[in-house]
Chains A and B, each alone.
Chain A
Amino acid sequence: MTAEVYPAAGLVERAAAAFAASVPEHPADDGYFGAASVTWRLNGDLSAPLAGLRSLLVQALHPLAMAGVDQHSDWRADPAGRLASTSAYLVTITYGDRAGADRAAARVRKIHERVRGTDPLTGKPYEAGDPDLLLWVHAGLVDSVLACADLFGTPVGAAGKDQYVAEMTAAAELVGVPAGRAPASAAELDGYLEAVRPELALSPAAAESTSYLLALPALADELGDIWRVLGDAAVASLPGWAKDLYGIRDAREVDRTEVRQVLGVLDALYLGEPGVLEARQRIELRMRAQARG
């Protein structure tokens, strides 16, 4: 089973290894969010992998963001590696201490410096460090985490949503969104997504990348079934405007219980990887210590 034939081989293993390595054993401080935050809860929710998949589907709808990925990333050759590094980044800024989060963010900003070019669809120049694009990617993630927790995970309620959006402005600022620009409430997030809509389109690169993603040739037949359930769930969870852009008129019905069962299986596979259980326990113990005051 070589990476060429099965580019997604090791998806779970590599994401799990990245997770285990990114939850510090001896953090210097509580990081940018802290054990009492909604961010800690939601970024570790059962629905988180699905939120990741939905984010990619949403984020791809901005032609400039998509062009940057399409022209500068080799994710198709190694989707597992790309997924693992994205997940490691998110885990580090969520559960790591401030110094660790700062280092990880600095690395990402440095990579972004080299990502620039011209979008073939619109002819517009782009650069990954552009605050508008960073904001788009940020909003796609935040919206997806909330939507997937609502539909398939443990919903946090209206106040929890506001708190999450507000907390996550710290994540936006880490990658270079200027302070004050990221939405700070659920209403502001919705307003932003409404306002940005004229810029969105399904570019050929986006169409092709997302259909590749939803049918990763990597997975064995049986795991393919599981991946299909997740793909259907991610598609079903998209907002109406995103479904329209994708030309999805009748998204396949998904059954919440079944999606959760599949997420549970994924979670179990994840837990079976070395270090994951211990990392989860580090998080859980810090959350409990915090709750005790």
Chain B
Amino acid sequence: MREDWRRGRVRRGLAALRLAARGGARYATNAPRLFATAGEQRQRLRNDLALRTAEDVAATLGTMKGVLMKIGQMASYVDDGLAPPVRRTLGRLQDSVPPMSSELAAGVVTEELGAPPEEVFATWDPEPIAAASIGQVHRAITMDGQAVAVKVQYPGIAQMIAADLGNVGLMRSLLRVAAPSQDVNALIEELRQRIGEELDYLREADSQRMFAAYFDGHPTITVPKIVDELSTARVITSELATGARFAELADWPQEEKDLAAETMYRFTFRSLYEMHAFNGDPHPGNYLFQPGGRVTFLDFGLVKLFTPEELKPLVHMVRYLCVDNDPEAFRRAMEEADFLTPGAPLPTEQVVEHMALFYDTVRTPGPRTMTPGYASAVARRYFDFRNPLAPYARIPRSYVILQRINLGMFALLGDLSATGDWRAIAEEIWPFVQAPPSTPMGAAEVAWRSRRPEPVPVS
């Protein structure tokens, strides 16, 4: 028994040494900035205010506060998703959540992994390095010497949030005040889905495994691998990634921003058209950047898988509108997907005019610069139920998540003022075009692509 324990200690020591040999010193100084930049999430890493008990967690995130925080997070992707004072309030709320104390976080790890973190890991850093939306991230080194990020969920949060989301009447009242021009039912549905899935770490780990496997070997896309034996319903352990935060990109040269944007764009649409999967969490904190357009994608808490039948009308829509230039066929595809009531008394050009905004970046070839204004306009139109199409239009449940292409990725690309020939890149990816590489990054993808299985055709 005692001998085992000593061996464990020696192994831990060796693992720590190995990490140091791999540039641990540089890592140590940079580590606190890996996920959180100065000024960002300040409160959430204030250890002097750390939550020490499950009751502290309930007082901070229970009684609707966790739910309101999520609304704030959703709203923070766009300029005008919510009324400005509400947005400010919710933004502050997000910043007001302190981390768990080391003891509380260790308690969750103990319950989930069967032993205290100091025994499960060779090295465990009791200070969190980042706040996740319903948990926090700790650095650790596994017994095998691998540097990992361990995401630990706040205790009791799943039950609290489920109870609060159950009060639909109050949710409605809140959202009517917060977002008077928006479809409250769609927002509630969105929130429920979003939060429910985010609480389920098992599902999240599965999704991350799938993305990691698909993009394995990609020249610019990195998805940290999950450490299976150290991941449970409330703890996810994955490879530790390094890189700059989204906010830090502001100081990078525009070419670098454009490359980062291209990677994000390729990631989104390759996932959608080839994996039939969409990672719906566009929070800026979920990306880490390195020069040359290399991007690490974190947090797969909200991934939607599409069936080929679900994807087919979407593929048809983009094809008929942007490639075949056939408005009537476009309209039929919309009807087929249940986006539009068949036979609605609207001229087809009005339908096209309304919908064209969503396809603005890919309708014509040539370089285009994304702007924050474009992202906001798309988001506004998406939720605007007073437009002429509204009586006949709906967003079928399975497509609701796709709005985050607009609310999320386009908002981030807009922030970067990213320029690219999005049409040309889209043609590389569109299954009905499959154009040759249009950029150096596209060319660099060729080797990776040749090792991928043929995507399942959708049309």
Which A residues have a C-beta under 8 Å from some C-beta of B? 46, 220, 222-223, 225-226, 257-258, 260-265, 267-269, 271-273, 277, 281, 284-285, 288
Contact = CB atoms under 8 A, between A and B. Distances in A.
Given A220-B177, A222-B177, A262 B68 contact: no
Given A225-B173, A272-B93, 7 more contacts: A226-B170, A261-B63, A264-B65, A268-B65, A271-B92, A271-B96, A272-B91
B62 interface: yes
B89 A265 contact: no
Nearest to B91: A272
A57 B172 CA distance: 29
Contacts of A288: 48
Interface string B146-189: 00000000000000000110010110011011000000000000
A265 B176 CA distance: 14
A225 B176 CA distance: 12
Overall SS of chain B's interface: helix
A135 to B, nearest CB: 33
A277 B164 CA distance: 23
Given A268-B64, A281-B49, A222 B176 contact: yes
B176 to A, nearest CB: 5
Interface string B74-107: 0000000000000011111101100000000000
Contact of A46 (B63, B95, B177): B63
A281 B177 CA distance: 28
A261 B89 contact: no
A258 B63 CA distance: 9
B259 to A, nearest CB: 37
A262 B92 contact: no
Contacts of B10: none
A135 B68 CA distance: 40
B59 A265 contact: no
The 10 A-B pairs with the shortest beta carbon distances in the complex, nearest first, are A264-B63, A272-B89, A264-B64, A222-B177, A222-B173, A225-B173, A272-B92, A261-B64, A260-B63, A222-B176
A281 B63 CA distance: 19
Contacts of B173: 222-223, 225-226
Interface string B42-82: 01000011000000000100111100100000000000000
Contacts of A262: 64, 170
A44 to B, nearest CB: 11
Nearest to A263: B63
A136 to B, nearest CB: 32
B68 A268 contact: yes
A220 B90 CA distance: 19
B49 A285 contact: yes
Given A281-B49, A284-B49, A257 B170 contact: no
Contacts of B174: 222, 265
Q: Interface SS of chain A: helix, strand, loop or mixed?
A: helix
Contacts of A257: 163, 167
Given A258-B167, A261-B164, A271 B62 contact: no
Contacts of A277: 43, 92, 95-96
Interface string B300-330: 0000000000000000000000000000000
25 contacts: A220-B177, A222-B174, A223-B177, A258-B167, A260-B63, A261-B64, A261-B164, A261-B170, A262-B64, A262-B170, A264-B65, A264-B164, A265-B68, A265-B170, A267-B65, A268-B68, A271-B93, A271-B96, A272-B88, A272-B90, A272-B91, A277-B92, A281-B49, A285-B48, A285-B49
Contacts of A264: 62-65, 164
Nearest to A12: B89
B182 to A, nearest CB: 14
Given A261-B170, A272-B88, A285-B49, A267 B177 contact: no
Contacts of B49: 281, 284-285
Contact of B64 (A220, A265, A281, A285): A265
Contacts of B91: 272
B422 to A, nearest CB: 37
Nearest to A274: B92
Nearest to B92: A272
Nearest to A261: B64
Which of A258, A261, A285 counts the most B-chain CB atoms under 10 A from its CB?
Answer: A261
Contacts of A263: 63
Contacts of B88: 272
A261 B59 contact: no
B345 to A, nearest CB: 33
Contacts of A265: 63-64, 68, 170, 174
- Most-contacted residue by chain B among A46, A272, A273, A284 (CB, 10 A): A272
B131 to A, nearest CB: 15
Contacts of B170: 225-226, 258, 261-262, 265
A269 B167 CA distance: 18
A18 B167 CA distance: 31
Contacts of A273: 89
Q: Which of the listed residues A223, A268, A277, A284 has the most CB atoms from chain B within 10 Å of its own CB?
A: A268
A285 to B, nearest CB: 6
A272 B87 CA distance: 9
Nearest to A262: B170
B89 A269 contact: yes
B77 to A, nearest CB: 19
Contacts of A271: 89, 92-93, 96
A291 to B, nearest CB: 10
A269 B86 CA distance: 8
A263 B49 CA distance: 22
A268 B170 CA distance: 14
Contacts of B68: 265, 268
Contacts of A267: 63, 65
A271 B91 CA distance: 10
A12 B68 CA distance: 17
A46 B59 contact: yes
Contacts of B90: 268, 272
A261 B66 CA distance: 11
A258 B163 CA distance: 10
A268 B48 contact: no
Contacts of A220: 177
A132 B176 CA distance: 47
Nearest to B95: A277
